[in-house]
C-alpha cells in the first residue's frame, strides 16, 4: 500500500502542468501569462487551429530552460553561450539543419548555464525580438477589442469587420485610416518585412486583398476573424495564413483625404 501511495504521489508531482481555457482567452494571452510563445503552446498541444474553446485543457511548458532566438544568434553562438554543443541543441529540438529564425524557442540541455556578463553575474534576459512593449498604446488598444464579435460590414460598439477593427484601433491613436481593406492597402507604402504596428493583408477569395489585421511582432497578428467570429490574435506563420498572405503596409501617417469634387459652373 505504501508503495502504491508513493507511486501515485510521484505521478502527481511529475504530471504535466495544464491550464483550463476561460472565456476570452487566446493562445497569445496564455503565452504571455506563462512566459512562452503561441508556437510552443501549439507544438506542445498538437494544435492545428488557433481558436480555443472554454473548458479546453492545454498543456503548459515544463520548467526546462529555453532560449528565444534573437537577431544574430546562431546554434554555434548559443552552444558556446550555454556550454553545450550544436549537435546537442539540434537533437534536443528535433532540428534537421542548423538554421534557426528570430523568435524561435529552443530548449536547452539540463545543466546548461545561464549567460554571464564579464563580471560573472547572470545576465538579464534579452528583450523579445520585434515585440511590442506590453504598455504600448497600440497593444493596449488591440487588447480592448479581443473577443468582440465579427460581422461583415459592421462598424459599431457591438460588432466589427476586419477593416473596421483596424481603423478603430488606429483611431484611438489619432490616426485616420480609410474604411475598407482595399483602400487601406492602397493608402500606405509596402513593408518588406512586417514590424509591430504594420497592417498585414490577405486574399481569401482570389488576387484582390480582402482581409486585414495588425502585426504585433514575434509572428503574431490581431484581426477580426470571420472564421472565429470574433477579434483574435493568431500566428502569421500558420500554413493557412502564409498561403493567402499578400504583404504588409506601414502606417507612416494619416493618409491624405481624397480631394473634394470640383463644383460645376
Rounded-to-integer distance, Cα 239 and Cα 202, Å = 13
Active-site residue, 211 included: yes
Closest CA to 215 of 133, 139, 151: 139
Rounded-to-integer distance, Cα 39 and Cα 102, Å = 13
Closest CA to 107 of 165, 164, 43: 43
Write out the E strands in the chain: 18-20, 57-59, 66-68, 105-107, 190-191, 199-202, 211-217, 220-225, 230-235, 245-249
Active-site residue, 67 included: no
DSSP 65: -
Of 108, 218, 220, 223, the catalytic one is 223
CB 207 within 8 A of CB 218: no
Active-site residue, 223 included: yes
Rounded-to-integer distance, Cα 211 and Cα 208, Å = 9
Of 162, 166, 177, 200, the catalytic one is 162
Of 211, 218, 230, 249, the catalytic one is 211
Which active-site residues does the annotation give?
Answer: 162, 211, 223
Amino acid at each position: 500500500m505504501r508503495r502504491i501511495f508513493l507511486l501515485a504521489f510521484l505521478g502527481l508531482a511529475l504530471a504535466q502542468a495544464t491550464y483550463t481555457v476561460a472565456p476570452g482567452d487566446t493562445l497569445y494571452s496564455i503565452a504571455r501569462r506563462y512566459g512562452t510563445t503561441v508556437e510552443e503552446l501549439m507544438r506542445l498541444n498538437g494544435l492545428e487551429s488557433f481558436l480555443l474553446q472554454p473548458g479546453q485543457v492545454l498543456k503548459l511548458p515544463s520548467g526546462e530552460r529555453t532560449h528565444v532566438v534573437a537577431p544574430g544568434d546562431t546554434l554555434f553562438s548559443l552552444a558556446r553561450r550555454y556550454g553545450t554543443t550544436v549537435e546537442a541543441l539540434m537533437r534536443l529540438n528535433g532540428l534537421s539543419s542548423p538554421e534557426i529564425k528570430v523568435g524561435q524557442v529552443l530548449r536547452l540541455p539540463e545543466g546548461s548555464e545561464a549567460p554571464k556578463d564579464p563580471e560573472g553575474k547572470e545576465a538579464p534576459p534579452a528583450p523579445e525580438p520585434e515585440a511590442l512593449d506590453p504598455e504600448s498604446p497600440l497593444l493596449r488598444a488591440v487588447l480592448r477589442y479581443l473577443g468582440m464579435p465579427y460581422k461583415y460590414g459592421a462598424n459599431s460598439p457591438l460588432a466589427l469587420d476586419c477593416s473596421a477593427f483596424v481603423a478603430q484601433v488606429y483611431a484611438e491613436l489619432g490616426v485616420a485610416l480609410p474604411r475598407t481593406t482595399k483602400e487601406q492597402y492602397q493608402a500606405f507604402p509596402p513593408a518588406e518585412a512586417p514590424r509591430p504596428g504594420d497592417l498585414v493583408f490577405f486574399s481569401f477569395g482570389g488576387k484582390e486583398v480582402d482581409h486585414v489585421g495588425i502585426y504585433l511582432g514575434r509572428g503574431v497578428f490581431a484581426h477580426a476573424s470571420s472564421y472565429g467570429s470574433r477579434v483574435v490574435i493568431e500566428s502569421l506563420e500558420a500554413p493557412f495564413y502564409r498561403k493567402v498572405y499578400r504583404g504588409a503596409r506601414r502606417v507612416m501617417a494619416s493618409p491624405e483625404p481624397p480631394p473634394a469634387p470640383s463644383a460645376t459652373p
